[in-house]
Homo-oligomer: A and B are copies of this chain.
């Protein structure tokens, strides 16, 4: 594919917003999503440029718009970051995320003009929030852990950070609708304003950003229980569970009933294949069946063992070993194909406020896991996702906590 609607031109996502509004959080979410989809994405954080030049801490006076030296240095730092973005696009980059306040119209015009001259599309992403509780929580949770305030008393740090915000507030100009292409996020997804966004990727980013929220809830990933094909080491097919696999279904049900007793009952999502529905059935029949969760389609290799593939189709076997991410089974799918068809599932998982249990298959769980754990794409097909194990992920503001619950013993005890 040489070009076309689904191909992304060089795109600079330029964050806009006062400090502690969630710019960095949003930038990191965007970066993870875009990288998972295969766009070479990098965040350029202006705070890091400042720290590299001036050392770890800068007093709030540095951010005072009446301080001419501070203004000059801040402009120089922005120019250095933009230079780096342009150089990176020249080498390999698809999407750059410029994480800075960009709080004046003048600064944004400067950024826009520079990227325009390099033939780079610009999309501003403004993060607005007037909820003082949310801002306070953000300051306490994230800014105090910032290198800017290492070794400084917490209350003193909060005071200084509030003064820094006040400097910005004096000159802050929200993006006007005549200004540019932008997505404006108001109060974490309550309102989204989309202005002059007319690209395929822009539309996807809007859908994605609309769904983000910061309410904590776990996402549980598991493969189906052992199937009749697992026993015979065959791939694909639509086999039923083995006796041990049914034991895992029961053990999983026991675990989920204990984990979610009462009100906060989880959604159960399964693939359309028999072995995932059967695994979930020991907990609930009230499941959501999604074909997007079906195992990677092995095409002409479906129903064979890896040994048979190696013996009968050594060239295919070798090609897959060389590039497991991009290798596409003849008449079937690659991991990249699986990732692409899972995109709506990821967006839905971001949106859900209830716990979700996903009962699916090895390649599918690998792809979902790679998203939440921010793994490089190349690592995705090589993750260990053992049978009879629940992977509990708890997304937090920066990254995703992981716990693995090994139910192998319980599955054996509950087998019949």
State A170–B352 Cα separation when bound (angstroms): 42
Q: Are A177 and B191 in contact (CB under 8 A)?
A: yes
CA distance A337 to B211 in the complex (A): 25
**Known contacts A196-B190, A196-B191, A348-B6; A289 and B206 CB within 8 A of each other:** no
Q: What is the interface residue range for chain A against chain B? A: 35 or more
Q: Which of B198, B200, B210, B238 contacts A194 (CB 8 A)?
A: B210
CB of A79 within 8 Å of the partner chain? no
Decide if A203 is an interface residue (CB 8 Å cutoff): yes
Complex partner residue of A3 from B3, B5, B200, B288, CB under 8 angstroms: B288
Closest Cβ of chain B to A248, distance in Å, is: 23
Contact residues of A between 188 and 209, Cβ < 8 Å to B = 189-198, 200, 203-204, 206-207
Cβ-defined partner of A191 (8 Å) among B193, B200, B238: B193
| Contact call A267/B4, Cβ cutoff below 8 A | yes
A288 to B200, CA, bound (A): 14
The answer to whether A210 touches B191, judged by C-beta atoms less than 8 angstroms apart, is no
Whether, in the assembled complex, A415 has its beta carbon less than 8 Å from a beta carbon of chain B, the answer is: no
Q: What is the CA–CA distance of A289 and B192 in the complex, to the nearest angstrom?
A: 32
Chain B residue at minimal CB-CB distance from A238: B331
Assess whether A286 is interfacial by the CB under 8 Å rule.
Answer: yes
Interface pair A347/B203, CB less than 8 Å apart: yes
Contact with A203, one of B4, B211, B290 (Cβ below 8 angstroms):
B211
Q: Which of B198, B206, B288, B302 contacts A6 (CB 8 A)?
A: B288
Question: Which of chain A's residues 270-304 have a Cβ closer than 8 Å to chain B?
Answer: 286-291, 302
- The CA of A198 and the CA of B189, in the complex, are separated in Å by 8
Do B351 and A288 touch across chains, with their CB atoms under 8 A apart? no
User: Is the beta-carbon distance between B351 and A5 smaller than 8 angstroms?
Assistant: yes
- The answer to whether the Cβ of A2 comes within 8 Å of any Cβ in the partner chain is yes
Q: Which of A179-237 contact B (CB under 8 A)?
A: 189-198, 200, 203-204, 206-207, 210-211
Give A residues with C-beta under 8 Å from B: 1-7, 177, 189-198, 200, 203-204, 206-207, 210-211, 238, 267, 269, 286-291, 302, 331, 337, 347-348, 351-352
